[in-house]
Amino acid sequence: MAQQIDLATVRQFGNMEFLARQLVEGFITGLHKSPYHGFSVEFSEHRLYNSGESTRHIDWKVFARTDKLFVKRYEEETNLRCHILLDVSPSMYYPEESNGKLTFSALATAALATMLQKQRDAIGLVTFSDKVHLQTPVKSTGSHVHTLLIALQNLLNQPRPTGQTDVATVLHQIAQQIPKRSLVIIFSDMLSRQEDTTAIFAALQHLKHQNHEVLLFHVMDRKTEEAFEFSERPYLFVDVESGEELKLQPSQVRESYKAAVEKFRHELELKCGQYKIDFIAVDINEPFDKVLYGYLVKRGKMKG
């Protein structure tokens, strides 16, 4: 069953580790009951048998239960390195009442870290706005993941920062710093101070040139940020990054605004397709399963 969590209560709950574990366990249980039996509950210890390979390591007990052939996974097969890049710029604190985009992304990051550690993969966390704020080592130990989850919990309890976003500069920096082929997962609304998207596309391409696999979760509050669904009355809209103010009624700009947002998203998705970057649009009002399943599909491609 798809899991919905009230983002406004996540900060009050104060236990990111528990929430992340609940999300992952619920997701795995859901997969077990779904058509996607390739990702069984045993995914952390097994992989699907590939036709033509030796049958020596097939787990016949799992076959008896699932009627599918799984091969026991060994340590050298589980050395995926994953860097999760989390945008913590002011625009990610929207909507203000729940710090919605940031809360969603932090909890999704926590769930992915939990899942990666289950699979004995190594995880590193980077938080950024116009510069890198936090950059951890890449490790697979339980104590390391515990430290990451505490950092994510603390992030949710900090006041909204000031300043702007510079996605491109940070992505270039990270691309240079990651020595080995890795999976780079990005959580961002990709709203940056660049007037056009050329710099962002160049930075994404840089990551691919360095031979990294890239998975971009484009995080939005679809109802207001894409559909511009505000009741018809005068509003004062304030740019959280520049402080610029605009007084207007939503109907005055709704159509032109929606067209501009759609153009940006389409360009971003198109370029990601050209660069063979997995692009997944996520709405913070929808369940987290789309993120977790998107990651599993990507990981399956890398291990295939």
Q: Dump pLDDT digits (tens) for 92-147.
A: 999 888 888 999 999 999 999 999 988 888 999 999 998 899 999 999 999 999 99
Q: What is the pLDDT of residue 57?
A: 74
pLDDT at position 3 is 60
CA dihedral 267, 106, 112, 136 (to 10 degrees): 100
pLDDT of residue 43: 46
Position 171 scores a pLDDT of: 92
Inter-residue contact 109 to 84 (CB < 8 Å):
yes
- In the prediction, which pLDDT does 45 show? 62
CB count within 10 Å of CB 193 equals 16
The whole-number pLDDT of residue 54 equals 75
- The three-state (H, E, C) secondary structure of 36-100, written as one string: CCCCCHHHHCEEECCCCCCCCCECHHHHHHHCCCEEECCHHHCCCEEEEEEECCHHHHCCCCCCH
| Contact (CB, 8 A) for 241 and 194 | no
Distance CA 6, CA 229 (A): 20
pLDDT of residue 74: 53
The pLDDT value recorded for residue 239 is 77
And the tokens for 139?
């490790």
Q: What is the pLDDT of residue 39?
A: 43
Here the tokens at position 256 are 């032109």
Position 119 scores a pLDDT of 82
Q: According to the model, what pLDDT value does residue 282 have?
A: 95
Contacts of 241 (CB under 8 A, 6+ apart): 89, 90, 91, 163, 164, 165, 191, 193
Domains and CATH numbers, the chain: 41-75 (no CATH), 78-303 (3.40.50.410)
HSE, side-chain direction, 13 A CA sphere, residue 158: 16
Q: Which residues of the chain have pLDDT under 70?
A: 1-4, 8-9, 11-14, 32-46, 73-79, 193-196, 240, 303-304
